[in-house]
């Protein structure tokens, strides 16, 4: 150790020694940074980074050697053989490339690769020393030569082992420091192993390169290579970190979407359960109302029947004329309540699928005339003109006569009820593209466009000051719509507020008897 220290202190320019150490540390750190990228990349880019690594490392070792040789002060002029000097960097790059390739797979092979890189350091050093040209004979100490080789191999293997534990910054710095010890320790131990005995008979060729020029040029080029390698490594790590951050962000979004999906599935399940429960409750309600048909109608029929008997006085006078008025009121209210109950029960039967159509051939013109006849008295009381305009050539219609009359009466009574005195209600029937169409148009108060869907809902009441005075349960139009759907038809409603309403019943062409016979 004293001999090595004396070699450094007495035979070297310490400023250049420090420069060589700085170049060595920078080269080692840059090479490990580039090698770290090669270790984590799985694509073909790995081999590009792996190819750059020995170039950066070998160039750095070469620069370290020649700057340190520039610091060497043997007391005589020194030159360098150009061919051997060039060959020395090839040796450094080639052997270190093999070492890095061996260390690439993982931790187990890293010390072996590091030891081979140490041999590359030694091979480069002794090839570079062999390139020296000076008037002296080299005398070697074999013990120190072995020690220099051991320093290169041991610290090279140790530096790679530390680096392989993790590619974080402190592990790269520790590995670079150990490789710097391997390079510098090998170099100065190797320089302590040689002594030069002057021999004036040895002639140095004039064609050798001056050490100052060679060392400065190589140091400048190598620092440029190392700087480019370091910049590339930093840039690539920045891109890699961005990719990692983006991947983590995407994973976070995916996890959030998966959580949202799970929440939506849970909500959907809950809503489906609630809908099933509501449907079951509605079904139970409809079944109950349909079953209670007899129980509801029987006492009401008794009320209506007895009120008619009381009003007719078949068993003698009541004694006071007001009793007849009361009986008429009871009868009128009972009939209204019965109509309401019938509508509710019809809806319930439709909901549970119990309402069956009793279909037959119907004369549409006669059906319209019968409905108009029943509603004409109400129209006359309200001073409303009632017009019938059916096409006399209409074919028979296959439908349920009672349900058809029910729909016609609902539409006509609504038209009369919502048409002011002096207005008119017109009912027409004709063919349209093969379908049979019955329309009821009035000049009444009309319905706003946004209120039409509400008018077609059961119990739908359009609450505005214009029509709130009119009584009604809101079942007429919805029930008529459902009855038309049972006939495979549709109910269309068009209205203009303040101008009137037109409700159109559309029966498909397949229900027109003449068409059915023609098809048969």
The domain limits of the chain are: 2-240, 293-352, 359-519
Q: Regarding predicted confidence, which is higher, 286 or 104?
A: 104
Q: Say what the pLDDT of residue 67 is.
A: 80
pLDDT at 378: 85
**281-290, 304-313, 372-381: the lowest-pLDDT one:** 281-290
- Backbone dihedral region of 432: left (phi > 0), alpha (psi from -120 to 50 degrees) or beta? beta
- DSSP labels for 263-316? HHHHHHHHHHHHHHHHHHHHHHHHHHHHHTHHHHHHHHHHHHHHHHHHHH-TTS
CATH classification of 359-519 is 3.30.565.10, yes or no? yes
> pLDDT at position 130, please?
83
pLDDT, average across residues 495-518: 82
Rounded to whole angstroms, the Cα distance separating 24 from 26 reads 6
Report residue 121 CA to chain centroid gap: 55
* Average pLDDT along the chain: 79
Task: Check residue 466 and give its pLDDT.
Answer: 41
Query: Using one digit for the tens of pLDDT, what is the confidence trace for 49-93?
Result: 777 788 888 888 888 887 887 777 766 677 777 788 888 888 888
Looking at residue 7, its pLDDT comes to 59
For position 518, what pLDDT does the model report? 47
Among 20-34, 53-67, 345-359, 485-499, top mean pLDDT goes to 485-499
Q: Which pLDDT score, from 0 to 100, does residue 110 have?
A: 84
pLDDT recorded at residue 342: 73
Residues 11 and 18: their CA atoms lie apart, in Å, by 14
User: Do residues 35 and 100 make contact, with C-beta atoms less than 8 angstroms apart?
Assistant: yes
Question: Is residue 3 a contact partner of residue 192, using CB atoms and an 8 Å limit?
Answer: yes
pLDDT grade for 203, boundaries at 50, 70 and 90 = low
Q: Is the pLDDT of residue 109 over 50?
A: yes
Taking a C-beta distance cutoff of 8 angstroms, is the pair 513, 453 a contact? Answer: no
State what percent of residues in the chain have pLDDT above 90.
14
Residue 437 pLDDT greater than 80, yes or no: yes
Q: Which of 23, 63, 24, 27 is nearest to 218 (CA)?
A: 63
Average pLDDT of the residues in 421-428: 93
Mean pLDDT in residue range 261-269: 88
Does the pLDDT value for residue 330 go beyond 70?
yes
Average confidence (pLDDT) over 438-455: 86
């Amino acid at each position: 150790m004293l001999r090595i220290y004396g070699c450094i202190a007495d035979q070297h320019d310490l400023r250049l020694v420090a420069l060589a150490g700085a170049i060595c540390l920078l080269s080692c750190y840059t090479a490990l940074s580039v090698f770290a990228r090669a270790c984590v990349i799985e694509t073909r880019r790995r081999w590009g980074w792996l190819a750059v690594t020995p170039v950066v490392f070998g160039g750095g070792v070469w620069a370290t050697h020649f700057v340190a040789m520039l610091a060497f002060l043997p007391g005589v002029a020194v030159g360098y053989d150009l061919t051997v000097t060039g060959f020395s960097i090839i040796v450094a790059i080639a052997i270190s490339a093999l070492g890095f390739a061996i260390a690439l797979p993982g931790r187990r092979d890293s010390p072996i690769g590091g030891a081979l890189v140490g041999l590359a350091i030694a091979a480069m050093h002794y090839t570079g020393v062999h390139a020296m040209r000076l008037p002296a004979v080299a005398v070697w100490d074999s013990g120190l030569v072995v020690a220099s080789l051991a320093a290169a191999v041991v610290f090279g293997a140790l530096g790679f082992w530390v680096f392989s534990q993790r590619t974080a910054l402190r592990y790269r710095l520790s590995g670079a420091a150990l490789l710097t010890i391997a390079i510098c320790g090998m170099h100065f131990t190797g320089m302590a192993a040689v002594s030069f005995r002057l021999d004036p008979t040895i002639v140095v060729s004039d064609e050798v390169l001056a050490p100052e020029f060679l060392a400065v040029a190589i140091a400048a080029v190598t620092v440029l290579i190392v700087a480019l390698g370091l910049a590339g490594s930093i840039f690539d790590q920045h891109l890699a970190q961005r990719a990692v951050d983006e991947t983590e962000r995407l994973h976070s979004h995916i996890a959030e979407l998966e959580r949202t999906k799970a929440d939506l599935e849970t909500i959907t399940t809950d809503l489906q359960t609630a809908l099933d429960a509501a449907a079951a409750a509605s079904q139970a309600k409809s079944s109950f109302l349909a079953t209670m048909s007899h129980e509801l109608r029987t006492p009401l029929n008794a009320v209506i029947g007895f009120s008619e008997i009381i009003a007719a006085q078949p068993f003698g006078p009541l004694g006071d004329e007001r009793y007849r008025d009361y009986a008429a009121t009871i009868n009128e209210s009972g009939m209204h309540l019965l109509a309401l109950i019938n509508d509710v029960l019809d809806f319930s039967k439709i909901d549970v699928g119990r309402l069956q159509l009793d279909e037959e051939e119907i004369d549409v013109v006669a059906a319209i005339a019968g409905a108009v006849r029943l509603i004409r008295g109400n129209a006359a009381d309200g001073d409303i003109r009632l017009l019938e305009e059916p096409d006399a050539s209409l074919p028979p219609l296959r439908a349920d006569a009672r349900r058809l009359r029910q729909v016609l009466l609902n539409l006509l009574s609504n038209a009369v009820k919502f048409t002011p005195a002096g207005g008119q209600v017109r009912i027409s029937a004709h063919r349209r593209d093969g379908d049979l169409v019955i329309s009821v148009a009035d000049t009444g108060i009309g319905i706003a466009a946004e209120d039409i869907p509400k008018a077609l809902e059961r119990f739908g009441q359009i609450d505005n000051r214009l029509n709130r005075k009119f009584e009604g349960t809101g079942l007429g139009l919805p029930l008529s719509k459902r009855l038309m759907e049972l006939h495979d038809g549709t109910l269309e409603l068009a209205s203009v507020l303040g101008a009137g309403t037109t409700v159109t019943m559309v029966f498909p062409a397949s229900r027109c008897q003449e068409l059915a016979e023609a098809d048969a």
